[in-house]
A and B are shown apart, each in its own frame.
Chain A
Amino acid sequence: MRLHIKNGRVVDPASGRDGIGDVFIAEGKISEESAKADRVIDAQGLVVAPGFIDLSARLREPGLEYKATLESEMDAAVAGGVTSLACPPDTDPPLDEPGLVDMLRRRAKALARARVYPIGALTVKLKGEALTEMGQLTDAGCVAFSQANVPLADTQVLWRALQYAATFGYRVWLRVEDAWLAKGGVAHDGEVATRLGLPGIPAFAETIALATLLELVRATGAQVHVCRLSTAGAVALMRKARQDGLPVTCDAAIHHLHLCEMDLGYFDPLCRLQPPLRSQRDRDALAQGLAHGAIDCLVSDHTPVDEDGKHLPFAEAEPGATGLELLLPLALKWGAAQKLPLAATLARITCEPARILGAASGRIAPGAPADLAIFDPQAPVRVSAEMLKSQGKNTPFLGHEVAGSVRYTLVAGNVVYEA
């Protein structure tokens, strides 16, 4: 199948290309040749960009199908222009055995929508005690190892895990939160939690855990990606670590760029997130850190939760928000607020995460996989339960008006979504 995408504004953050032009696709890859196409897509008025890469999206399979299924979430991914996603191992059972990973990849492949990159569990059952068989999990297709949202309290296990991973060059992705300091907490330990009487998680639960992790990276040389920063202090620590030349990268989630503790309002369970929404100062530091390079990329942290899981008092509600379909509009909103060129904005959801993932996609270059998102950056979208393809309707942005609507999504040269 040969495709010709014409008249679009082609934006390739990796090369800096930004201009009206043509993109040709042959045999699932970007091609230089303009041979006769089987299909021509007229992208007049639309942006043609590399498909988005999301480093944190929960698909809820295996085991949590009442919250979402692979099928529903893959539909959500391609509707959001996401062509590659990494899924954390907090499924039921967790992704700690090669058989589970293999099954997930096969099922995902059979659906032929977005590419799925499983993240294996770092420890057996995510319990933080024994290391998983990282070698076999890598052979089964795991691209990295993580504890998802389960804290690894035992620093000796963390140290050993990093040593082991460093030995073989496996990548470790961790969210940082001191398990003891965060114990029992459900909201940022600050003015709003005090007012609402919610048990708090202090900002230093994150910075202390990050400082510990960075020391262990220094000691072991492990390649570590720090997931979903939430505090200004962590942004400063990451900036310093990068200056020191440590092999660390990091991301932030869409919600934390745009929301803060004030958005909890009167106990809105849709704002119950992990990590918690923090102060305005933290939110602004994350938005600026992402703009100025302290933070590498932006993730949706897509976490579909069923209605019953949210129809509970705040502290009992299940944390998380659906996000795959909001990644583009919320990235655009952030980029506009930071006055960034479109290519720089899109870099945070294309070539930057591709680099961390070690994927060949995330660019529009001859020979690269033809994974593309074609979208109207100005089209208004009103976020509603009905418009979301994800089975999870849980987002604090319900009712918000955002801009940016995907018209076509291509994976390996196939049109997998068409609005």
Chain B
Amino acid sequence: MSLKRELIFFAKIDEPGLTGIDVYKRAYSGYQAVEKTLGGKVAPGDVIDIVKASGLRGRGGAGFSAGMKWSFVPKDSPKPRYLVVNADESEPGTFKDRELMTKNPHQLIEGIILASYAIKANVAYIYIRGEFAWLVPVLESAIAEAKAAGYLGKNIQGSGFDLECHVHLGAGAYICGEETALLNSLEGKRGNPRLKPPFPAVEGLYACPTVVNNVETICAVGPIMLNGADWYRQWGTEKSTGTKLFSVSGPVKRPGNYEIPMGLPIRTLLEEYCGGMLDGYTLKAIVPGGSSVPAMLPSQLDTPLDYESIAAAGSMLGSGGCVFIDDQVCMVDLALNVTKFYRHESCGKCTPCREGTHWIENILTQLEHGEGTMEQIDQVYGICDMILGKSFCALGDAAAMPVMSYIKLFRDEFEFHVREKRCRVNRRRAELAPYREAATAASQV
């Protein structure tokens, strides 16, 4: 797989000992960007300008300009400022930040130092999902090494800039990937989202100016500051610059994380990088950006993987969680699976999301088990429409969009369920059958 991994993040990601500072320094020119920027007394405002010029966009899903987000921090606020790294990677289909943090934690720490310097934050928190508890020692050891080497702590590289970095462990809540819910969680509250505005840049953590960025976004800052904005723009398109990590899952020959230049066709990712679908499996649907985005069809395989092209094709690039779905997967079953996830993860704060996801699950369960009616297909679609754009935060949209797209693109499968009272195809259930029979046999003994 080495042939395609020679870009920014994955250049030497499998270098032995990379979690240690010495190997990081050697393999990735590690901490040179900090030395150059802080040691060279580059003005914080210039750091923001360089990141803005690079075109780097938020890799958590929204795709908002990182430099722009940083520039929203008020210049004259007397309050402390905070950088918060969103390491709550929870969007089903996404597992890129996990690999970055597991294998190359110093790249994240270096990005944190540069981003904190740019926004003049003296404290940074890494909010990491509870399920990644095993990663905390990896990050804390990187922080300790960076501190011992003079890259964290007081007067970093003689710049007069101080920074402390702490890891904060979540405890299982998808909603905490939403930045304002994450901030509430970090403040020791339930993870309910907050009303925006005020945006976190103005009133975030402890009501102080705060920037929240995804792990992958922050990891890109070091290389950009070391090599410049134009260097970063050599990859990608005019509006979607640089490289992006895509997490590929589903029945493909080589699933995993891939770093690709933005704008690469989905087909190239699937066929060349991942070796295509497993033998005997035919592609039926593509979910390009995590479970919350609308599905695409195999006829759209030539769509370039960049924010604009995927949006024009009716979906979203999201977090880059690319799920390839084969023709033996029942879309009613999959819609139910996705809905169960969002119903479970809805924080319960607002009615459309809390009650809507409940009712979608309820009706989809009836449809899945052959107890539904044709009217109920439209009813599910209608309930989704009542959530879309009307919930307090984006979780509601995330619940509604996939289900609406499955109904739109695969309505025949939903109708088949009503007519025939079973799945037209269902590899998963077919494989479950022996257990059902065994269970039935056991109960009859």
Query: Are A and B co-members of a single complex?
Result: no
